[in-house]
Chain A
Amino acid sequence: MQAATFNPTQTSLVPRLLIGLAVALTLLIVVAPLVYIFARAFGEGWRVYAENLLNPATLHAVWLTTITALIVVPVNIAFGISAAWVVARFRFPGRSLLVTAIEIPFSISPIIAGICYLLLYGRQGLLGPWLADNDLQVMFALPGIVLVTMFVTAPFVAREVLPLMQAQGSDQEQAAVTLGASGWQVFRRVTLPNIKWALLYGAVLCTARAVGEFGGVSVVSGNIRGQTNTLPLHVELLFNDLNATGAFAAASVLTLLALVALVAKTVLEARKAR
């Protein structure tokens, strides 16, 4: 019995100190700024808060961020499942390279992604003249914002689903085909239920990131107020306008979205662990 050898005063003092330190730091670094956001947002009362939120530019930013997430997350789910499936079920040359490639967006600063897309699709970029000739606007418009957000969030679903698929192996899927199931039936009734919680977990993380993305999007959006400003960009814009209450009101929406995602993530984590 190792526990018996511990000095009783030590066991009560050291953990208490560490717990106290952890709580204090969390309050100071994480909770206090969050509380401050809401305190400032509501600082001049409900009426001013509502006015700031209902400002057309702010509403447009909320709408743009929502649209972006609604496009990015489903694409990401489809990409994540396919990538995980290919890597987990097949052996092919370049397989480990593909795994590394999927993770690139995690290690690269989002602003680099933004600049890469600008160099590729921008007016002076590689595809710029062709896009201009065909009257396609990618940069400083929704397509650019969506593309960069997709790049930044690409690994989230794949990374959650892949280890699970690898751990489970393909026995159940093989059993299903021997029972006469078609490819789609196997996916729908065997593969998908087995990865369900990990998939939702990845989707929540992906949504949170898509909604909050700043650096990459700031390069390709052009910051046109009421047109190409996503919510995070709009917060910065309001802040630079010295409209602190407006900035904090917009920030409170973002924060709320993040908190919802956090709760969903915690619930899903518990289900996933089962």
Chain B
Amino acid sequence: MHIEIDEIAKTFGTTAALHPVSLSLPSGALVALLGPSGSGKTTLLRILGGLEFPTSGRVLFDGQDATGLSVQERRAGFVFQSYALFRHMTVFDNIAYGLNARPRASRPNKVEVARRVTRLLDLIQLPDIGARYPSQLSGGQRQRVALARALAIEPRMLLLDEPFGALDAKVRKELRQGLRDIHDETGLTTVFVTHDQDEAMELADLVVVMSGSQSGGRIEQIGKPQDIRSKPASAFVREFIAA
């Protein structure tokens, strides 16, 4: 799905989080929102997912105005930085949650739910953990379960907030490839937030470099990783990717 961000601004009370930003994300792209903390990247991601609403500006999905759509109507697969797995449910029930929450008319039957959950567990390469509880999983496993849960609702896009933030270096590297593979297999437009330039450069097709200021976060440069490396658009970008 093509995502168009048109002059989106956001203020929380008196604090400016996003200076008006505009951005066009081609369908099927794997996009990194890269920037230091306070650059508004997470706010932008949450606006896409419908968890925050912009103070001004529009969001368009495939050319249709989606600004006022509720979070449920967006059908965005969202992976939280904390993963936010349901502690009291098994991995199976976590992944099945979105399917079981559907209205009766469109809810798949039990057999179909089980089939889909099994397929997702295969996709994240953890076929045997359905009966476990989140507390029994490693950090990397939790992240993949959160990904499977987000994919279960057959989302129109995939949004990930610092998906590798809480993991150690070795697991990070493995899961980067895992996300790339899942993205390629599903073909979903995928946006992830990171403050790690290596991660953004290595993984993304398109990198959006953001910076923070008193007047809110703004976009410094949008481009392919190699273009950002070879032709940084501003002193900020040059310094940030060199760090």
Contacts and interface: CB of A to CB of B under 8 A. Distances in A.
Interface of A: 169, 171-172, 174-182, 185, 189-190, 193-194
Contacts of A185: 101
B170 interface: no
A143 B87 CA distance: 41
A178 B101 contact: no
Interface in B53-78: 71-72, 74-78
Interface in B87-115: 87-88, 97-98, 101-102
Contact of A174 (B74, B80, B149, B152): B80
A190 B85 CA distance: 10
A180 B70 CA distance: 10
Nearest to A190: B86
Interface residues of B, number: 26
Given A174-B80, A178-B150, A180-B101, 6 more contacts: A175-B149, A179-B150, A179-B152, A181-B97, A189-B101, A190-B86
B82 interface: yes
A180 B88 contact: no
16 contacts: A171-B80, A172-B87, A175-B80, A176-B97, A177-B72, A178-B50, A178-B77, A178-B150, A179-B98, A179-B153, A180-B72, A180-B102, A181-B97, A181-B98, A189-B86, A193-B88
Contacts of B71: 177-178
A76 B57 CA distance: 44
B150 A194 contact: no
B51 interface: yes
Of listed B75, B76, B86, B149, residue having the most chain A CB within 10 A: B86
Closest 6 CB pairs of A and B: A179-B98, A171-B84, A175-B84, A178-B78, A181-B101, A193-B88
B49 interface: yes
B51 A179 contact: no
A178 B88 CA distance: 18
Given A178-B76, A182-B72, A172 B84 contact: yes
A115 to B, nearest CB: 43
Nearest to B73: A180
Nearest to A183: B72
